[in-house]
Amino acid sequence: MTIGRNRGKRVVEDLRKGIPCEDLVEQYTSDETVALRKLKAAVDEVGSDGYSVVRFLRGAYGSGKSHTLALLASYALRRRFLVSRMAVSREHTFSKIERTLRELVRNLRAPKMRKRERRPGLLVAIDTWASKLGIEEVPHAVDSLGVDPSCSDMKRALTRIVGGLVNSRRGLGLPRDVEIAYLWLAAEKLRSDERKLIGVHSNVDKNNARDVLEDLARVFRAMAFKGWLLIVDEQEAVSTLLAPRQRDHAISNLRMIMDSASRVEGLMWVFASTPEFFEDPQHGIGTYDALRDRITDNIVLRTSELSTADLSCVGQKVLEIYAAAYPESAPGPSVEELGLCIRRLEDDMQGHLAKPRFFVEAVVGGLDALREGTEQSFSRAFDTVRGRAYQRWARERQNASREDS
């Protein structure tokens, strides 16, 4: 697919930030890795058989975890999966399941969802299923979704949303109770008058958030979606950033997710982490016997180092995208000059640090320097940007180590 100027700029802007441009990530990808191939196979298994799985993606900082996850998300969306993604941090600790549900619902994406869609992805997904319903069909249609009878509030919230979406197509606008019912499903705290408006008795909290999440997965399957892919990135923060009590709660939630996978339909959890999460002698999973025994080698996939040929392929694709984004810019490096930059990068890293993120960031930074006239040599600009990226990474790791101690 030829990439135009606007799309090219979107890709370049994201690469400057060190993140993949999710809907265009395939434009600058080399060959499929073993980890991605196995993750895609798991998506297909969940989609066809309906059972749930948990997988871990392990790789050092800069090794391409986010890139792999973006490719996986794109693949899952094409397979009619819903996709949610969150990153563990001090604000989103994974230690409170209700906050985890909130992040996953807020960040949900539906297949063929427009880039500038203003409605939340959950409403887009429900509306896709309800598009042919008449208002008189709503109660029976919601009954057919198979909501757990013990979760009557869930059924009431869904009924409000489906009815409101159907009515909105008759030119009546989206009623207030649809927004409130969505907020309830997203584990937001509602006032008593708001709960009364949609007919629910209590808020979603730590006592029922996991039930709501699992019920949503069943509902999505009943709506003819193949499954729900839940991506939790930067899981190493559980080991490196969280206070002991938060860490224990986060590990407990992870253990419960793994234990419940066999009884939930259509969920695929993918946790991405650096080696610290697995190996930290004080806070890694090895210090939790029950979790260590559950996370076996067959569910842990590892990112792969890119070969010289892979780096060259990715570099050439980034050069082409940059040229499309900035056709007026000076010509980029020759194949030979790019190859020399790759060899210097490989010599400097000496196998101790993953390369892809630093490489792509340095290519874009070098091209920026040429375009802006701050440097006449791509090679010098490439080395300067790469050095800054490495120093930034080292500072972040040092700061995290100090905070943990």
**CB atoms near residue 361 (< 10 Å):** 22
- Percentages helix, strand, coil for the chain (3-state, rounded to 5) are 60, 10, 30
Helix (H, G, I), strand (E, B) or coil at 342: helix
What is the DSSP-derived secondary structure letter of residue 28? G
Return the pLDDT at 236.
76
Are 211 and 149 in a shared domain?
A: yes
> Is 7 inside any structural domain?
no
Local confidence band at 20 (pLDDT 50, 70, 90 cut-offs): confident
Return the pLDDT at 107.
95
Are 62 and 203 in a shared domain?
A: no
Local confidence band at 186 (pLDDT 50, 70, 90 cut-offs): very high
Residue 205: pLDDT over 80? yes
Return the higher-pLDDT residue of 351 and 216. 216
CATH number at residue 287: 3.40.50.300
End of a domain among 176, 195, 224? 224
Tens digit of each residue's pLDDT (9 = 90 or more) over 225-257:
999 999 999 887 776 666 778 888 888 888 888
Are 100 and 240 in a shared domain?
A: yes
> Is 26 inside any structural domain?
no
Number of domains present in the structure of the chain: 3
CB 60 within 8 A of CB 353: yes
Are 247 and 180 in a shared domain?
A: no
pTM assigned to the model: 0.88
Residue 237 is encoded by which pair of tokens? 């923060």
Cα–Cα distance measured from residue 156 to residue 161, given in angstroms and rounded to the nearest whole number: 9
Tell me how far CA of residue 373 lies from CA of 86, 330, 361, 387, in angstroms: 38, 9, 18, 20
> Is 5 inside any structural domain?
no
Domain that holds residue 293: 31-111+225-305
Tens digit of each residue's pLDDT (9 = 90 or more) over 152-164:
999 999 999 999 9
Tens digit of each residue's pLDDT (9 = 90 or more) over 325-359:
999 887 889 999 999 998 888 777 665 555 788 88
Residue 9: pLDDT over 90? yes
Are 131 and 39 in a shared domain?
A: no
Tens digit of each residue's pLDDT (9 = 90 or more) over 261-293:
878 889 999 999 988 888 877 777 777 777 878
Return the pLDDT at 297.
87
> Is 362 inside any structural domain?
yes
End of a domain among 282, 305, 328? 305
State CA 291 to chain mean position distance.
23
Average pLDDT over residues 85-100: 86
- Name residue 267's beta-bridge partners: 228
Are 95 and 56 in a shared domain?
A: yes
End of a domain among 199, 224, 249? 224
Helix (H, G, I), strand (E, B) or coil at 270: strand
Are 236 and 106 in a shared domain?
A: yes
